[in-house]
Amino acid sequence: MTLAIRDLSFAYPRKPVLHGVDAGPLPRGALTALIGPNAAGKSTLFRCIAGLLPRYTGSIALDGAPLEALAPRARVKRVTFMPQFFAANAALSVFDVVLLARKSLSGWAVNQADINAVASVLDAFGIGHLSEADIGALSGGQQQMVSVCQALVREPDVFLFDEPTSALDLKHQLEIMTAIARETRRRNAVTLVALHDLNLAARFADHAVLLRDGKVIADDAPGHVLADAALAETYGVAIDLITHEGTGLHVSASLR
Amino acid sequence: MVTEAPGLARRYRDRTARKTLLVALVGAVLAASFIADIMTGPSNMPFWTVLATLIDPSSADAHTRLIVIDLRLPVALMALLVGAMLGVAGAEMQTILGNPLADPFTLGISSAASFGAALAITWQVALIPGVGPYLVPANAFALAFSTSLILYAFSRLRGVTSETMILVGIALLFSYNALLALMQYGATELELAQIVFWMMGSLARATWPKIAICAAVLVVVLPWFMMRAWALTALRMGDDKAASLGVNVKRLRIEILFGVSLLAAAAVSFVGTIAFIGLVGPHIARMLVGEDQRSFLPVSALASAIILSLASIASKTINPGVIFPIGMITSLIGIPFFISLILTIRRRNWQ
């Protein structure tokens, strides 16, 4: 029960991005951190898995069955991708947009189960008080939380979160990552989270994949990937790992 | 931890119920305006007479029937239909292009129609052969629709964003205005008067076949758009987000542009240039019910129909005995109203 990526390559016109990416099998019920510097191809890899960039070569298999064999609609149902940027100024309430994420895949009419699902996801993330607010009036961090709710209100097998914590303060970063890790286990889903913050990766990931210039450099337990000399090399910094009794591994980076 | 979830669900249901009530209320205002439109004219018709004649035409005397059914009903119906068509066209153009300025007028579709009409009036050129008495509207339709197709062709090019589409629309608007000026320059005095009069827009050209065509277009396109309500709402969150939610953005945009073209071209070809309705109706809807297309689309249609219906009443009452061109009225009365509306309800959408 896994997600396996084999020899995946993708190029935008005149701009190759991914070169034979091999990753996995990524287990279900586990959170995988996708780390790597800017422009390493993290977002592009997510788009390929989600089927938004269909012209890639190689294969992506979920539980042994190739995702490429699925119709676009069926694929979107099984793989939920949360893009990094979200700046909406539409006259829509938070409840509306989370409901929308659920309804854009299934029948037209809204039923009781839909309403309850949206209400409980907003409640679980502590943004119930924003439910009637216009999304345009939210702060960047609040919009990001709404975006995560949009993903979690659906019931796919694979979650792809692109930088879900980039606009959040410390407390909300921890809350969102805790919620994502909890839901991953509860639903037995394959979850990939692109993260810039290596400490969040060290703290929450069960598995880590290091991407650099469109290639996988390391694909292992976070402790191993973070300790790998290739990590310091990839980011161009010196990295020290510190173990704290309560919270596990911590990454301390400095300029070389 | 106390769960808020049941409260959230209840609040959502309450809000949905309020929206439904609002849609019904707007519908009631439209019905009132429609009856008032028929009551207004050189010989005033009391409310009950109008209602009785509409329900059972055979109950009225010949004179009343002539005024209500033959003279005023087509005009009042045309106001409703054209208003709704322009409103829906404007609402969806704004949605698919992500721009609050998009409407059939700003994208050059109305100018194209005017140019087509001018071609028919001055040179008697038939762009669609065999249309007989419908030469002017047929030409207007042919040009309006082909202009939409030009926009549509542009939208299929690689790397064309919604901003590019708006710019192409504006370029088309100016091209057609220049061509129109050229036609007017070469026209005789009588032809010039005809062109100018056509461009001002008039509901007096309403006939039953035209009404039937407009109604048919609306009956096909509106439910079709309603079926796409969720996808269209998703589009307002940006193409990227919509795509990640499973919307085929490219196909949706092309599909909707085709429907919008049909609506806009049919509306302007029969009544001439009526600016501003396709812009204001959707803005009023946005202020009333927000942009959830399930209520945004019907309220856009209803609000736009109300504006045109009220404009039709105003065109008859400003100077009794004279019917002013409707396009003039919508701009003159509508724009100050619109500006005051924007200033009172300053929501920060679209910034």
Per residue of chain B (351 residues), what is the pLDDT tens digit? 457 778 888 888 998 899 999 999 999 999 999 999 999 888 878 888 888 888 888 888 888 888 888 888 999 999 999 999 999 999 999 898 887 778 888 888 888 988 988 888 888 888 888 777 788 888 888 898 888 888 878 877 766 777 787 888 889 999 999 999 998 888 888 989 888 888 888 888 788 999 999 999 999 999 999 999 999 999 888 888 888 888 888 888 888 988 888 898 888 888 888 878 888 899 889 888 989 999 999 999 999 999 999 999 988 888 777 788 888 888 887 777 777 766 765 555 444
Closest by Cβ to A122, choosing from B8, B286, B290: B8
ipTM of the complex: 0.85
CA distances A53 to A43, A57, A87, B42, Å, are: 11, 11, 22, 64
| Structure confidence at residue A105 as a pLDDT band (50, 70, 90) | low
Residue in chain B closest to A136 (alpha carbons) equals B349
Encode pLDDT of A156-170 as tens digits.
889 999 988 888 888
Beta bridge partners of A212: A215
**Whole-angstrom Cα distance, residue B313 to residue B316?**
5
DSSP conformational letter for B103 = S
Would you state the pLDDT for residue B351?
A: 42
- Considering only the C-alpha atoms of chain B, give the largest distance between any 2 of them, rounded to a whole number of Å: 82
**Whole-angstrom Cα distance, residue A256 to residue A240?**
12
Encode pLDDT of A117-145 as tens digits.
898 888 888 888 888 888 888 888 888 88
Compute the nearest-CA separation of A131 from chain B (Å). Answer: 7
CA distances A247 to A202, A243, B52, B318, Å, are: 9, 8, 80, 78
**Whole-angstrom Cα distance, residue B241 to residue A72?**
16
Q: Which of B13, B241, B346 to mutate to test the interface with A (most CBs of A within 10 A)?
A: B241
Task: Encode A141-158 in three state secondary structure.
Answer: HHHHHHHHHHHHCCCCCE
Inter-chain residue contact A100 with B9, CB threshold 8 Å: no
Q: CB–CB of A182/A166 below 8 Å?
A: no
Strand A215-220 relative to strand A65-66, pairing: unpaired
Amino acid identity at A120: S
Higher pLDDT, A8 or B158: A8
Residue in chain B closest to A72 (alpha carbons) equals B246
Inter-chain residue contact A131 with B241, CB threshold 8 Å: no
Could you tell me how many CB contacts below 8 A there are between chain A and chain B? 118
Q: Which of B14, B16, B20, B237 to mutate to test the interface with A (most CBs of A within 10 A)?
A: B237
Q: At what angle do helices A112-124 and A140-152 cross, to 10 degrees?
A: 130
b/e per residue, B177-198, with b = 16+ CB within 10 A?
eebbeebeeebeeebbebbeeb
**Whole-angstrom Cα distance, residue A32 to residue A218?**
12
What 3-state class would DSSP assign to B56?
A: coil
Sheet holding A65-66: strands in order across?
A15-27, A2-12, A57-62, A65-66
Q: Where are the alpha helices (DSSP H) in chain B?
A: 5-39, 47-55, 62-65, 73-97, 109-123, 135-156, 162-186, 189-200, 208-227, 229-235, 239-244, 249-271, 277-289, 293-317, 326-344
Would you state the pLDDT for residue A53?
A: 83
Q: Where are the alpha helices (DSSP H) in chain A?
A: 42-50, 72-78, 94-103, 112-124, 140-152, 170-187, 198-204, 222-227, 229-235
DSSP conformational letter for B228 = T
- Tokens linked to B141: 């339709």
Compute the nearest-CA separation of B241 from chain A (Å). Answer: 7
- Considering only the C-alpha atoms of chain A, give the largest distance between any 2 of them, rounded to a whole number of Å: 58
Q: Which residues of A touch B236 (CB under 8 A)?
A: 88, 90, 92
The dihedral through the CA atoms of A230, A233, A234, A240 has a sign that is positive
Compute the nearest-CA separation of B75 from chain A (Å). Answer: 34
